[in-house]
A and B are shown apart, each in its own frame.
Chain A
Amino acid sequence: MRITCTVNGRPQVADSVWAGESLLYVLRERLGLPGSKNACEQGECGSCSVYLDGTLVCACLVLGGQADGREIVTVEGLSNGDSLHPVQQAFVEAGAVQCGFCTPGLVVATHDLLRRVPRPSDAQIREALAGNICRCTGYAKIIDAVHLAAGRMGAA
């Protein structure tokens, strides 16, 4: 099948997509956007979190065909040219990135949280990011990063 969608503000067409392919596969292997990660492909780890028409989803749980005519934003779409989004900058500075495989998903999920709750409490951060598994950091630096980003975005 042919899928026509908008990804990170750009119209995209993917041809010959097999009906069983996930949006994650289409993004990574057909559209050249491997930022969304393939850790569990079962909706448990959040590594492939993207926006689908503005709603945070696991790209592995969405069929490629379901993305037809929709608008998708991936981690690659959050930075503005060379300048990082404050959430991305905060993750780098706070030491919230180690192996980094969970990072793209956490960055998108944090972006979504701060859109809804500009100054979240620790409890709100924990609840919002409970669907994103990180195996390296123990999460403390991730919480630091969310607060750092919230502070900067609030000040801006």
Chain B
Amino acid sequence: MTAGAVLPTRQPQAAAASVTGRVGESVRRPDGVLKVRGDFPYSSDLWVEGMLWGATSRSPHPYARIVSIDTSEALASPGVRAVLTHEDVPGRKLYGLEIPDQPVLAFDVVRYWGEAVALVAADHPEQARRAARKVRVEYEVRKPLTDPEEALTPEATRLHPGGNVTRHVTIRHGDQDARADVVVRGEYEIGMQDQAPLGPESGLAIPDGEGGVDLYVATQWLHVDQDQLAGCLGLAPDQVRLTLAGVGGAFGSREDLSMQAHACMLALRTGRPVKIVYSRPESFVGHVHRHPGRLRYEHGATRDGKLVYVKARILLDGGAYASSSTAVIANASCFAVGPYQCPNATIDGWVVYTNNPPCGAMRGFGSVQNCYAHEAQMDKLAAALGMDPVAIRMRNAMDGSSRLITGQAMEGPIPVAELLRRVQEMPLPPVAGADHLDLTALPGGVSNTTHGESVRRGVGYAVGFKNVGYSEGFDDYSTARVTLAAAGGRPRAEVHTAGAEVGQGLVTVQAQIAGTELGVRDVTVLNADTRVGSAGSSSASRQTYITGGAVKAACEAVRERIFALAQSELGSRSGAGWRLEREAIVSADGEVIVTLATLLGEEVIEETREFRPRRTNRLDPKTGQADAHMQYAFAAHRAVVDVDTELGLVKVVELATAQDVGKAINPLAVEGQLEGGAAQGLGLAVMEEVQVKDGVIRNPSFTDYLLPTILDMPPVRMDVLELGDPRSPYGVKGVGEPPTISSGPAIVAAIRAATGRPLARVPVRPHDIVT
């Protein structure tokens, strides 16, 4: 094999984007034109002169002691420039978002299948991959601990020094001995879902020649990567500079480090730029997954359908390392009852270490798992009482006078009943007559497996909620720098934050806010990097709220300076009623006082502000009581499905949803989030599962891990409410996650309605329906 000279493709560069549009308008993405042309530089597209390719050598065992590592054969392979192991980690050997328990490169033991053990840099990616396979590791194979129940037992192997319980959340709310007229019980199991962003983990590290490194990478939070990297590389934070490279989706999978430290280590060792791009199979072991869960529930209610108590035991399998497990189990526990008023609750949430793939953040973050259980229980309760499934939900729906089971008062518009009413009132899709059979619309589709003989239709409902932003006392904030200057007779604003645009539309939102606050048409959003303060993560549905709030605050500071400048320039003492509109300062009655271009001249006004939402508190360790969350987002779904009851095939005919977004900053983008989020919920309900057997992933590819295609995803009827949160900028509520929480449980409820089967496990498989 030869690796000839390659021609340049992409230089890492800041992709500043200009956009015009106001808050509340459906503004087109500024990066859209680049993306449809194939010109948008994603992290896997980067290229610089003299670049090497990195590859990772990974453990073939889920649990083993490392006896020895021999890199000599790999190092002698063609084109290889460096081979590194844990001995080459310059700084701290462990990292982690919440608990530093994960090795940069495995030492002593490997705890999951595919754990990184060694690194190779070579001239050609295939040379690197082949050499990585030649790293000789002698393992003493151990029996993996793969059952989360077993992990809880005293006799189980202790996988980490502190034992196998990553966190146990206890919630004791109200009367622990409450009794009820009607009791229903259920046990539910949720499979492991993968975020499966289309863009693979990738990035380019470039040594600066002075011991530091510049990393261009697809990530969700540049600064948390920077902090972890500086520690692992033994460098000061300002020696590890990160720039966001184009991100091909995230959904939680990019919250943890994947190839970041590895690329930097190889670059620093070789003195050359190093790019790492995961293959799809490698991506399946290179990022965390959604926690699989086992949930045991008992609901007690009065004869007229009011919840008296809920008892739940939630067990999540965190896999080999902690990642964000401690926060995920807090969510799963806090929202275990769903958006219902319940005076008494007994919740025990456990997340444990096993030798399964590590699990962490994924869209919905703990609320997805429990929604399957609490919604199935509500349907069970409705059946036991002879009530309508929607009626029982409405009877128990939280409102502005309710308290969460953590004791926290639910403030602001809490439109649970309203959302349910709206999805219920939407018209149902027609049933095709036998003479209008469209095979593609039936279960089995063009496989021509049925002409409708044993197809039954079902309708199901679900409602869910979760917190927005970080909880439990985490210092949640974002930073924005806003600059206003005139060029060519026009004022231009520039917004710079470290907020990661991962496809959700943050870049547009930032520009809309600046354009609205400063009254200018031309706003450029600079590419995110670590030259500005932290924006926190693009997760927890928080960026529009928190980074949006920071942009708004910085714009307000810029505006104050403009007014002050105008007052001094014009000799005007009063600025009462002044506004920034139409690229000018206008008076209360709309008269232009001075144009911004005239006022600014050569002057550049720049302000940087941080924005913090209200503080939250840790859950009490014994009772789980606290004001732990700062905002909640709600959505309801109705699903209509056709089921071939002979073959167990399901066709989701339609999804209907209603969601309160507080304020739709960009309505078109909100619709995209609602539709796309629902598709991921559909995926977990009926097809998506990382199949893990004895700690080994059996389906790490897009051939075997099934994702919803355009044939699987039905039309989504939508009703977007803008009720406004008085405490948030423009009244916004987080948008991104609720669509993924209740869509799946609604689909499973519809399949139950069509088949009468209990369906206590998702994804629902054909044999769950027909056997």
Q: Which residues of A contact B (CB under 8 A)?
A: 15-18, 20-21, 28-42, 44-45, 47, 74-76, 79, 84, 88-89, 91-93, 95, 97-104, 107, 123, 125-127, 129-143
Contact = CB atoms under 8 A, between A and B. Distances in A.
Contacts of A29: 6, 9, 47
A103 B5 CA distance: 29
Complex A-B, nearest 5 residue pairs according to Cβ-Cβ distance, in ascending order: A35-B38, A16-B4, A99-B503, A138-B675, A100-B35
24 contacts: A29-B47, A34-B44, A37-B198, A39-B280, A39-B702, A40-B702, A40-B703, A74-B38, A75-B38, A84-B36, A89-B36, A97-B29, A97-B36, A100-B35, A101-B248, A101-B503, A104-B38, A126-B710, A133-B707, A135-B251, A136-B676, A138-B678, A139-B675, A140-B713
A142 B446 CA distance: 21
A140 B675 contact: yes
A100 B505 CA distance: 11
Contacts of B2: 16, 18
Contacts of A135: 196-198, 249, 251, 676, 679-680, 707
B669 interface: yes
Contacts of B198: 37, 39, 45, 47, 99, 101-102, 133-135
Contacts of B280: 39-42
B124 A18 contact: yes
A103 B250 CA distance: 16
Interface string B659-675: 00000000011011011
Contact of A99 (B6, B8, B28, B199): B199
Interface string B632-676: 000000000000000000000000000000000000110110111
**Interface size of B as a range:** 35 or more
Given A33-B9, A104-B35, 20 more contacts: A30-B7, A32-B8, A34-B41, A37-B44, A39-B280, A39-B702, A42-B701, A76-B37, A89-B36, A100-B36, A101-B42, A104-B38, A107-B36, A123-B440, A136-B249, A137-B676, A138-B678, A139-B675, A139-B710, A140-B716
Given A88-B36, A123-B440, A136-B503, A95 B7 contact: no
Q: Is the interface of A mostly helix, strand, loop or mixed?
A: loop
B45 A34 contact: yes
A103 B29 CA distance: 13
Nearest to B4: A16
B707 A32 contact: no
B590 interface: no
A139 B678 CA distance: 11
Interface in B424-439: 438
A133 B709 contact: yes
Most buried by B among A38, A107, A136: A136
A28 B9 contact: yes
B711 A130 contact: yes
Nearest to A125: B710
A134 B703 CA distance: 15
A16 B3 contact: yes
Contacts of A91: 32, 36
B213 interface: no
Contact of B711 (A42, A47, A127): A127
Contact of B247 (A88, A99, A133): A99
A21 B1 CA distance: 10
B28 A100 contact: no
A38 B38 contact: no
Contacts of A79: 37
B677 to A, nearest CB: 7
Contact of B7 (A32, A74, A137): A32
Interface in B34-54: 35-42, 44-45, 47
Nearest to A92: B32
B702 A42 contact: yes
A47 B675 CA distance: 20
A129 B703 contact: no
B37 A84 contact: yes
Nearest to A15: B4
Contacts of A107: 36
A23 B42 CA distance: 19
Contacts of B504: 98
A64 to B, nearest CB: 12
Given A44-B701, A138-B716, A37 B248 contact: yes
Most buried by B among A17, A36, A74, A130: A130
A30 B5 CA distance: 8
